């Protein structure tokens, strides 16, 4: 899976561009604030049809502009032509895949696959459990359509049940117990199975990136909840607390993907370099999982990934990017000397939102 041609209009601070993309990828160089991350954001937009930074479409649209357009042609099995347009005046987003408009967002997802690492992804290691749950949900939603449907049903049931609990309508809250249990059990099964399947890969990736200590992750929650029949007892045990707090206290929304280093919680004992190594390893696991499930290698987008890594880890990561697998890699850095020596990708320069030709 390779991006071939990118068209951008009215996107963040980027000047309007049409860019032919090298098959192996590229390194985009330039000082901070010039648009490097914005370019990766445009490249990633067709994956989930939204910003990977959590920004709204109105925020993504260029300052005071009427809206934006992102177009991507990619070499995939069967080929891909994707276009997203957003109009600020009526706040309407239009998605077109291979010439056909897709009124439902779900129908536009998954045609273009890419994995992105940005400096903010350190929160996967340093932050609370919700960040790691979101990581699991994103990976599983892109690799398992049944998981995505179950997750959507579960979130809807939790939201409606919480509203009933807050309103003191315990009878109404009870109505959602069945759908909560069925969808929630599916979510827990999916997460547990994925973690069990990829634990070893995470440890291997950390070791290949230069981490001498043993790294691991594990799923922490109530293992009985893989069975919908276990939910009534679990809900009954916390019923009084749920009524008092007005929130559902059972289910995967409270579980944790625990990252450890040498048997201890990584965010508590790891250096910044070790934490960044683990975050990159999570992204490489995501890349591999998408590749296995979809039968094609996603693109890899890395924003300032070499910062705060020592030279050994930088060189190991550079070697890993060129290792097994046929992938397209896009990297950003402020200057060429912040890339490992001999970094093989063709380079472009971004200044003031303008992407200059290959150097």
Look at residue 207 in the predicted model and tell me its pLDDT: 96
φ/ψ region of 264 (left if φ > 0, alpha if ψ in -120 to 50, else beta) reads beta
Query: Domain residue spans in the chain?
Result: 1-113+296-359, 123-295
Q: How confident is the model at residue 326 (pLDDT cuts 50, 70, 90)?
A: low
pLDDT (tens digit per residue) in 129-186:
999 999 999 999 988 889 999 999 999 999 999 999 999 999 999 999 999 999 999 9
Query: What band does 301 get if pLDDT is binned at 50, 70 and 90?
Result: very high
Q: What is the dihedral of CA 160, 165, 167, 172, to 10 degrees?
A: 60
CA distance 253 to 103: 29
HSE-CB for 225 with a 13 A CA cutoff = 26
For 222-234, write each residue's pLDDT tens digit.
999 999 999 999 9
Give the number of C-alpha atoms closer than 13 A to the C-alpha of residue 107, restricted to the C-beta side. 10
Quick one: CA dihedral 305, 310, 311, 316, positive or negative? negative
Q: What is the pLDDT of residue 359?
A: 54
Domain 123-295, CATH: 1.20.1050.90
pLDDT of residue 263: 93
Residues facing 302 on adjacent strands: 117, 331
Split at pLDDT 50, 70, 90, the class of 109 is confident
Tens of pLDDT, residues 51-95: 999 899 999 997 778 999 999 999 887 789 999 999 998 999 999
Instruction: Give the separation between CA 31 and CA 84, rounded to whole angstroms.
Output: 28
Instruction: Name, in order, each residue with C-beta under 8 angstroms of 134's C-beta and a sequence gap of 6 or more.
Output: none
- Domain 1-113+296-359 shares a fold with domain 123-295: no
Does position 324 have pLDDT exceeding 80, yes or no? no
In this predicted structure, the answer to whether residue 323 has a pLDDT above a threshold of 90 is: no
Measured between alpha carbons, how far is 114 from 287 in angstroms, rounded to an integer?
Answer: 8
pLDDT tens digits, one per residue of 229-251: 999 999 999 999 999 999 999 99
For domain 1-113+296-359, give the CATH number.
3.40.50.300
What pLDDT, on a 0 to 100 scale, did the predictor assign at position 64? 74
C-alpha gyration radius of the chain: 22
Please provide the average confidence, as pLDDT, over all residues in the chain.
92
Say what the pTM is. Answer: 0.89
Task: Judge whether 124 and 135 are in contact, CB under 8 Å.
Answer: yes
Lowest mean pLDDT: which of 59-68, 78-87, 115-124, 196-205? 59-68
CA atoms of 23 and 34, how far apart (whole Å): 24
Please give the pLDDT value at position 358. 62
| pLDDT value of residue 354 | 95
| pLDDT confidence band for 41 (50 / 70 / 90) | very high
Taking residues 21-35, what's their average pLDDT? 93
Position 63 scores a pLDDT of: 74
| Res 344: pLDDT | 82
């Amino acid at each position: 899976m390779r991006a071939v041609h990118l068209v951008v209009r009215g996107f963040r601070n980027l000047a309007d561009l049409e860019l032919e993309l090298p098959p192996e990828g590229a390194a985009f160089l330039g000082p901070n604030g010039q648009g490097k991350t914005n370019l990766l954001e445009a490249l990633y937009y067709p994956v989930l049809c939204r910003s990977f930074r959590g920004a709204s479409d109105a925020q993504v649209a260029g300052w005071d502009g009427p809206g934006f357009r992102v177009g991507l042609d990619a070499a995939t099995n069967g080929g891909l032509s994707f276009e997203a347009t957003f109009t600020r005046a009526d706040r309407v987003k239009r998605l077109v895949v291979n010439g056909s408009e897709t009124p439902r967002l779900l129908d536009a997802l998954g045609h273009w696959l890419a994995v992105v690492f940005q400096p903010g992804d350190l929160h996967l290691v340093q932050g609370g459990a919700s960040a790691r749950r979101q990581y699991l949900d994103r990976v599983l939603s892109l690799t398992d359509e049944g998981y995505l449907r179950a997750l959507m049903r579960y979130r809807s049931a939790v939201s409606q049940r919480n509203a009933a609990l807050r309103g003191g309508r315990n009878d109404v809250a009870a109505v959602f117990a069945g759908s909560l249990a069925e969808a929630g059990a599916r979510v827990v099964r999916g997460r547990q199975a994925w973690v069990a399947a990829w634990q070893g890969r995470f440890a291997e990736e950390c070791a290949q990136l230069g981490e001498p200590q043993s790294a691991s992750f594990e799923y922490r929650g109530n293992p009985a909840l893989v069975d919908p029949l276990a939910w009534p007892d679990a809900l009954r045990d916390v019923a009084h607390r749920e009524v008092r707090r007005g929130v559902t206290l059972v289910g995967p929304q409270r579980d944790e993907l625990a990252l450890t280093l040498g048997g201890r919680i990584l965010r508590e004992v790891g250096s910044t370099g070790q934490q960044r190594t683990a975050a990159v390893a999570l992204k490489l696991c995501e890349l591999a999982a998408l590749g296995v499930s979809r039968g094609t290698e996603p693109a890899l987008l890395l924003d300032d990934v070499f910062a705060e890594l020592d030279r050994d880890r930088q060189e190991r990561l550079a070697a890993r990017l060129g290792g097994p697998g046929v992938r397209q890699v896009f990297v950003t850095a402020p200057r060429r000397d912040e890339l490992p020596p001999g970094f093989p990708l063709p380079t472009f320069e971004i200044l003031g939102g303008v992407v200059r030709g290959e150097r």
